[in-house]
Amino acid sequence: MTEAHPKFSRRLVLGVGAAMAASLPLAGFAAENAVITDQDAYTRQQAGQMVIVDVRTPQEWQQTGVAVGAEPIDMSDPEFLQKLVQLRQDNPGIEFGFICRSGNRSGQVQSYLAQNNVAGVYSVDGGMSGNGQASGWISDGLPVEPWTGQ
């Protein structure tokens, strides 16, 4: 199954990058391939240091649930980047950890934002279901909650 990715306009990305970067403390250059383990992401989330953003589709959220406390924002939603900006404004100075099924789509989002100078963004290694190198959120026994459709 091929994982889809949104088409972002350069103007929109620059606006999102500026909005997200403005709300993060300056920590040097954005890491283009910043990956975090699921356990580290969960620990940071529980400490109030990270927002986990689930970029999968509603069908996937329905099938497996979402990581407890994660913000489900389908990356194929035409308003994906605008929703990220709003989430960033609601959580100033907090890192973002993106999660998908296996780490592919979340890695694409993280890399794209980092290439546009957004710091403090990570891809959760292995995603929800694992990828052959990392077992994934569900297999690692981290908490999941049903998606309520909202």
The CATH number of the domain where 86 resides is what? Answer: 3.40.250.10
Query: Has residue 3 been placed in a domain?
Result: no
Exposed e or buried b per residue across 76-86, where buried means at least 16 C-beta atoms within 10 angstroms of its C-beta? eeeebbebbbe
Q: With respect to residue 15, please indicate whether it lies within any of the assigned structural domains.
A: no
Residue 16, in any domain of the structure: no
Question: What Cα–Cα distance (Å) separates residue 84 from each residue in 29, 38, 56, 67, 118?
Answer: 20, 21, 14, 18, 12
Give the pLDDT score at 124: 97
pTM for the structure as a whole: 0.81
Q: Does residue 63 lie within any of the structural domains? A: yes
Strands 95-99 and 121-124: parallel
pLDDT value for 80: 96
Q: Is residue 78 part of a domain?
A: yes
Are the beta carbons of 109 and 7 closer than 8 angstroms? no
Instruction: Count how many domains the chain has.
Output: 1
Q: How high is the pLDDT of residue 11?
A: 52
For residue 101, the tally of other CB atoms under 10 A from its CB is 23
The residues facing 145 across adjacent strands are 66
Q: Which domain holds residue 116?
A: 29-145
Q: What pLDDT score was predicted for residue 51? A: 98
Spell out the per-residue pLDDT of the chain, length 150, in tens.
Answer: 444 445 555 555 555 555 554 444 434 445 667 999 999 999 999 999 999 999 999 999 999 999 999 999 999 999 999 999 999 999 999 999 999 999 999 999 999 999 988 889 999 999 999 999 999 999 999 999 999 886
How confident is the model at residue 79, as a pLDDT? 95
Element (H, E) at 60: helix 58-64
